[in-house]
């Protein structure tokens, strides 16, 4: 392995540790030789997600996202070797024979982040989470189970359910931050059904109607979580650690659903709690290789 490759890997690990500690911590509970590709995928995702915070208008954001799409299509005008995350991502795809198609779809899904349009309904939210959170879980599972191509469809199916559960937990945890910038990922139709107005959310009003909408969203996420955990047991044991984020999602959904909780109160989980939750899950039969 070249010195450049080592520095690229170190850059990605540091980026993920800072920007997405959940995925960094989850990578610690897989075989050491599999951590590097998982962190490469997580670093790529971190780069895509943080575009929204780096631009003040959608067009510059779309241009940045297009660079990544061009890179994956092999038509980038920039040198991937000058970007440690890009170099690591391409190395990960090549060495682990990963399908490329889910990555442009992930980028396309995150274009939504650049605009302040509300998430319309579940029929849009579920595919959005499947193509973002779910795709990362699926690709991680394929890294861990490299060579078991016959199970890829089953992995994708379980990962879609897992992605919805993990994604909803993240959306609800980020509600105070997203609503302050007038961005909403909660399904608008659910809010409307309970009589909750968008301006009430954007102004941080913890109304009974919002609490009812949040409870419905959590209940739906729990269905996906339970389905993922049930179907995960039928997957090859070697790929199950890729689903460790489900343990964090279950913990978070329980906390987010606590009686009397204000959804605009910042929801934080310490790094110690993250590591403890993942460690306990990694020792359980469901996730053990």
Read off the pLDDT of residues 214-247 as tens digits, 9 standing for 90 and up: 999 999 999 999 999 999 999 999 999 999 999 9
Task: Give the model confidence (pLDDT) of 19-45 as tens digits.
Answer: 999 999 999 999 999 999 999 999 999
- pLDDT value at residue 80: 65
- pLDDT value at residue 279: 97
pLDDT tier for residue 163 given thresholds of 50, 70 and 90: very high
pLDDT tier for residue 282 given thresholds of 50, 70 and 90: very high
pLDDT tier for residue 1 given thresholds of 50, 70 and 90: very low
Which three-class secondary structure state does DSSP give residue 47?
A: helix
- pLDDT value at residue 76: 59
Question: In this structure, what are the phi and psi dihedrals at residue 263, rounded to the nearest 5 degrees?
Answer: -65, -15
Spatial CA neighbour of 247 closest among 228, 233, 234: 228
In the predicted model, what is the mean pLDDT of the chain?
A: 94
State the DSSP string of 165-214.
Answer: HHHHHHHHHTHHHHHHTT---S-HHHHHHTT--HHHHHTT---HHHHHHH
Average pLDDT over residues 143-162: 87
Q: Which CATH number fits domain 116-289: 3.40.50.300, 1.10.600.10, 3.90.1300.10, 1.20.1050.10?
A: 1.10.600.10
Task: Give the model confidence (pLDDT) of 184-215 as tens digits.
Answer: 999 999 999 999 999 999 999 999 999 999 99
Range list for CATH 1.10.600.10 in the chain: 116-289
- pLDDT value at residue 24: 98
DSSP 233: T
Task: Give the model confidence (pLDDT) of 76-122 as tens digits.
Answer: 555 666 899 999 999 999 999 999 999 999 999 999 999 989 999 99
Spatial CA neighbour of 168 closest among 140, 198, 200, 190: 190
The Cα–Cα gap between 20 and 2 comes to 26
Task: Give the model confidence (pLDDT) of 247-276 as tens digits.
Answer: 999 999 999 999 999 999 999 999 999 999
pLDDT > 90: what percent of the chain?
Answer: 90
């Amino acid at each position: 392995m070249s010195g450049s490759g080592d520095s690229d890997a170190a850059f990605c690990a540091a980026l993920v540790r800072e920007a997405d500690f959940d995925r960094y911590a989850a990578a610690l509970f897989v075989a050491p030789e599999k951590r590097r590709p998982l962190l490469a995928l997580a670093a790529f995702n971190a780069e895509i997600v943080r575009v929204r915070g780096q631009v003040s208008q959608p067009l510059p954001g779309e241009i940045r996202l297009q660079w990544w799409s061009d890179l994956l299509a092999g038509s980038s005008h920039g040198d991937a070797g000058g970007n440690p995350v890009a170099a690591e991502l391409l190395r990960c795809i090549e060495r682990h024979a990963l399908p490329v198609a889910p990555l442009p779809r992930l980028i396309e899904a995150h274009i939504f982040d650049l605009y302040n349009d509300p998430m319309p309904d579940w029929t849009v939210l579920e595919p959005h989470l499947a193509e973002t959170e779910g795709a990362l879980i699926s690709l991680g599972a394929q890294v861990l189970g490299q060579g078991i191509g016959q199970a890829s469809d089953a992995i994708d199916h379980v990962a879609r359910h897992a992605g919805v559960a993990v994604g909803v937990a993240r959306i609800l945890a980020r509600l105070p931050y997203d609503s302050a910038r007038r961005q909403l990922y909660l399904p608008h139709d659910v809010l409307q059904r309970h009589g909750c107005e968008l301006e009430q959310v954007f102004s941080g009003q913890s109304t009974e109607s919002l609490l009812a909408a949040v409870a419905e969203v959590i209940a739906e996420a729990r269905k996906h979580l339970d389905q993922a955990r049930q179907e995960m047991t039928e997957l090859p044991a070697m790929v199950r650690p890729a689903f460790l984020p489900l343990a964090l999602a279950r913990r978070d959904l329980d906390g987010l659903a606590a009686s009397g909780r204000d959804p605009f109160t910042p929801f934080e989980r310490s790094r110690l709690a993250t590591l403890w939750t993942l460690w306990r899950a990694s020792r359980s039969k469901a996730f053990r290789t």
